[in-house]
Amino acid sequence: MKKELSNLNGASGDERPRDSPAPTETQMPAGVETGGRASYCCWKCSREQLKKFFWGVAVVLCICSSWAGSTQLAKLTFKKFDAPFTLTWFATNWNFLFFPLYYIGHVCKSAEKQSLKQRYRECCRFFGDNGLTVKVFFTKAAPFGVLWTLTNYLYLHAIKKINTTDVSVLFCCNKAFVFLLSWIVLRDRFMGVRIVAAILAIAGIVMMTYADGFHNHSVIGIALVVGSASMSALYKVLFKLLLGSAKFGEAALFLSILGVFNILFITCIPIILYFTKVEYWNSFDDIPWGNLCGFSVLLLTFNIVLNFGIAVTYPTLMSLGVVLSVPVNAVVDHYTSQIVFNGVRVIAIVIIGLGFLLLLLPEEWDVWLIKLLMRLKVRKKEETAEGNGDIGSGLQAKHRRTRPSFAR
């Protein structure tokens, strides 16, 4: 469900806004000195950072609300329409809108506008020199379409078994699975703090299972959502391994291709499930179309903001939106279901959340921490030395005042 293409988040977009060029020195007034220019640049940088931070808050709220809203709406849909795979298929079809929406943004924003055909051909270079061929479609797009469908289906099927709070918090473990797979497959840098985060995630899964007393439906539901998190992690690691990084247009085209794959090759599965009465409904009038469309729109919004929000804010802030959806779901579950927040469940939620936050630490966090501690230590020594100097000068002045003077 959460296709956080982490490599996309780190890619540089082809239409990312650029900073305006700084004025040349000949345009500055004659009385302005170097210190004035430095203060102007610092003010400009702080203003840009503040703007990026406020955009980040808006993106976090959008991610949190769309993800929590889609989860709750899926839970509500299953009360009238018990067909998780059909719901997965219906929502994935909306992926087709990614590239058209991207092209509309390109036309409205870009200074050098291209035709739809030109933009499509340029984005197709992401798949190689030959573009999007039939062979490339089946070797580089179809496997990801299968993983996308499995991730969504397992997540939605888990919502039928357990409450949305447990589902949302357990899915946060996918970030730990991404680290473990990247460490093994991609040979990423080993980080002790991320190993600790992975251990916390596994411990949280065990405690979450224990919180419900190892009941059959609870164990199955937890297994389903852990499987969904694993498929999501596998999707991201394989994308980075096989395709590398992508610009915004390339990412939009790739996600639209997943929607086309879903329409062409996955449509037969809901039909088979309907006629075998595995996922059956009496008539099309009984289908809650409002819930289905609402869920699809929220999921589409979530994926758009998650994949393209990097253009306006920091990736770390966007990741916070996923974990912040957990307390939102917890509040809704508290008033709408019979969930029991016992001590074990609360500890499991806190442990998984802590592991998720540890995984957000940058790779050089230990170097930054050492530098910060060294600066604080040096500053403390300077303040102590200044304090001793002030005391010494004060004593000398007092001594001079009390000394008798014989000068006339």
DSSP codes, 170-223: HHTTHHHHHHHHHHHHS-PPP-HHHHHHHHHHHHHHHHHHHHTTS-HHHHHHHH
CA separation for the pair 171, 232 (Å, rounded) = 9
For all residues of the chain together, what is the average pLDDT?
A: 80
When mean pLDDT is compared across 158-162, 261-265, 343-347, the lowest value belongs to 343-347
In a domain, 117, yes or no: yes
In a domain, 384, yes or no: no
In a domain, 20, yes or no: no
Q: Give residue 227's pLDDT band: very low, low, confident or very high (50, 70, 90).
A: very high
| pLDDT value at residue 403 | 45
When mean pLDDT is compared across 11-20, 255-264, 369-378, the lowest value belongs to 11-20
Cα atoms in the Cβ-side hemisphere of radius 13 Å centred on 309: 30
| pLDDT value at residue 6 | 40
Position with higher pLDDT, 23 vs 391: 391
Query: What letter does residue 78 receive in the DSSP assignment?
Result: T
Q: Which residues span the domain enclosing 327? A: 46-370
Longest dimension (CA), the chain: 119
DSSP characters for 327-374? HHHHHHHHHHS-----HHHHHHHHHHHHHHHHHTS-TTHHHHHHHHHH
Dihedrals phi, psi of 247, to nearest 5 degrees: -80, 175
In a domain, 244, yes or no: yes
| pLDDT value at residue 367 | 62
| pLDDT value at residue 343 | 83
Tokens in use for 398?
Answer: 């007092």
Give the pLDDT confidence of 44-69 residue by residue, as tens digits. Answer: 557 777 777 788 888 889 999 999 99
Query: What letter does residue 106 receive in the DSSP assignment?
Result: H
| pLDDT value at residue 55 | 82
User: SS3 of 37, please?
Assistant: helix
In one letter, which amino acid is 191?
M
pLDDT at 189 exceeding the cut of 80: no
**Which of the given ranges, 40-44, 346-350, 402-406, has the highest pLDDT on average?**
346-350
Give the pLDDT confidence of 170-188 residue by residue, as tens digits. Answer: 999 998 899 889 888 888 7
Position with higher pLDDT, 308 vs 265: 265
- Percent above pLDDT 90 for the chain: 36
Give the pLDDT confidence of 362-386 residue by residue, as tens digits. Answer: 766 656 667 767 777 777 777 777 6
Q: Give residue 355's pLDDT band: very low, low, confident or very high (50, 70, 90).
A: confident
In one letter, which amino acid is 153?
Y
Tokens in use for 169?
Answer: 């918090």
In a domain, 15, yes or no: no
Q: List, in order, residues 6 or more apart from 161 with CB less than 8 Å away.
A: 217, 218, 220, 221, 224
Q: Which helix (H) or strand (E) holds 236?
A: helix 216-242
Cα–Cα distances in angstroms (integers) from residue 379 to residues 133, 373, 382, 383, 390, in the given order: 62, 10, 5, 6, 16
Mean pLDDT, range 305-329, rounded to an integer: 84
| pLDDT value at residue 19 | 36
Number of domains present in the structure of the chain: 1
Q: Give residue 13's pLDDT band: very low, low, confident or very high (50, 70, 90).
A: very low
Position with higher pLDDT, 174 vs 19: 174
Position with higher pLDDT, 260 vs 191: 260
In a domain, 136, yes or no: yes
Q: Could you tell me where the DSSP H helices lie in 23-115?
A: 34-77, 84-93, 98-109
pLDDT at 224 exceeding the cut of 90: yes
CA separation for the pair 129, 197 (Å, rounded) = 40
152 and 2 in contact (C-beta within 8 Å)?
A: no
In a domain, 334, yes or no: yes
Q: Give residue 393's pLDDT band: very low, low, confident or very high (50, 70, 90).
A: low
Burial (CB < 10 A; 0-12, 13-18, 19+), residue 334, is middle
Among candidate residues 384, 379, 353, 373, the one with its CA nearest the CA of residue 175? 353
84 and 160 in contact (C-beta within 8 Å)?
A: yes
| pLDDT value at residue 390 | 55
| pLDDT value at residue 53 | 77
In a domain, 84, yes or no: yes
| pLDDT value at residue 4 | 43
pTM over the 0.85 mark: no
